[in-house]
């Protein structure tokens, strides 16, 4: 098998990932995540002048709060539309200590070694293919004495996002050969294996279970519609279900899920907590 064939195969995988996240408009979902994003960043010990990389930054749910706390932030995302949206938010906020640009978590070749004090990726880099390369790159660009913090959804968890992905997977075709589920970033033993292979000490890796709450000024049914119209994986699930005549079944399952998870006392607003694995790696 030629090296060119392998390179082309890898490129196609990367392009598929880029296409997935450019397919919808994740900013519509990110708008429901602002409060929890800010709360998470507030606990990271951000100080003025800290150099922060936010990998898989979207339109800035965690990058912008970090900049507001005085960090010098670089946001990197594979989706061009999210980078453009992030830069528009930065301009509107009048921030000068943060930039967004396109890039891929599996190859940060334009970033020097040991360049950041803190590398953050909240529900971002976990979706990149080639997780060993992701861990290697995150560790490489972190300075000695610095930290990596990831937020990763947990496979089989009973809360919202893990269940959306679980339900949706029953309606979509089997993944291609060699596919590694992003949800494996939510398994502690896998995280340890990946970062140790990247050069981390096992003892420097720690875990916590935390909660991210989606808050929306509309009903759970409308919130589901937002996923259906704007979230790439859910869009793909509905397209596949429609081809198989099972669109109504998927809609019914997800509606029941969203309604049961909603903790708002007002049926016209949504407050849904979702558990995630917070990973901290000290270098």
Question: How many helices and strands, by DSSP H and E, does the chain display?
Answer: 11, 7
Strand arrangement, sheet containing 98-102: 98-102, 72-77, 51-55, 116-122, 142-153, 270-282, 205-216
**How much is the average pLDDT of 255-265?**
97
Q: How confident is the model at residue 12 (pLDDT cuts 50, 70, 90)?
A: very low
Give 120's DSSP letter. E
| Beta-bridge mates of residue 211 | 275
Length of the chain (residues): 283
Helix pair angle (220-230, 247-261), 10° resolution: 130
pLDDT tens-digit map of 88-125: 999 999 999 999 999 999 999 999 999 999 999 999 99
pLDDT tens-digit map of 182-237: 999 999 999 999 999 999 999 999 999 999 999 999 999 999 999 999 998 899 99
Lookup: tokens for 4:
């060119």
pTM of the prediction? 0.92
Angstrom distance (rounded) from CA 182 to CA 94: 35
Give 32's DSSP letter. T
Q: Is the dihedral of CA 100, 102, 108, 110 positive or negative?
A: negative
């Amino acid at each position: 098998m030629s090296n060119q064939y392998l390179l082309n195969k890898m490129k196609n995988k990367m392009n598929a990932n880029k296409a997935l996240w450019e397919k919808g408009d994740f900013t519509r979902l990110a708008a429901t995540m602002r409060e929890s994003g800010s709360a998470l960043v507030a606990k990271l010990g951000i100080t003025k002048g800290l150099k922060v990389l936010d990998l898989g930054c979207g339109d800035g749910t965690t990058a912008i709060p970090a900049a507001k706390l005085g960090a010098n932030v670089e946001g990197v995302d594979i989706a061009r539309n999210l980078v453009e949206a992030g830069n528009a938010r930065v301009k509107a906020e009048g921030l000068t200590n943060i930039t967004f640009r396109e890039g891929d978590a599996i190859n940060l070749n334009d970033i020097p070694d040991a360049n950041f004090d803190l590398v953050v990726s909240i529900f971002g880099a976990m979706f990149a293919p080639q997780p060993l390369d992701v861990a290697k790159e995150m560790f490489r660009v972190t300075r000695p004495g610095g930290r990596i913090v990831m937020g990763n959804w947990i496979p089989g968890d009973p809360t919202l996002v893990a269940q959306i992905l679980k339900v949706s997977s029953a309606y979509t075709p089997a993944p291609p050969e060699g596919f590694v589920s992003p949800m494996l970033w939510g398994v502690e033993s896998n995280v340890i294996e990946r970062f140790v292979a990247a050069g981390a000490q096992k003892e420097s890796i720690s875990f916590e279970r935390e909660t991210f709450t989606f808050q929306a000024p509309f009903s759970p049914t409308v919130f589901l519609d937002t996923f259906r119209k704007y979230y790439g994986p859910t869009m793909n699930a509905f397209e596949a279900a429609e081809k198989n005549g099972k669109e109504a079944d998927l809609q019914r399952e997800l509606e029941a899920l969203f309604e049961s998870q909603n903790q708002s006392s007002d049926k016209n607003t949504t407050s849904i907590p979702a558990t995630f694995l917070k990973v901290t790696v000290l270098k």
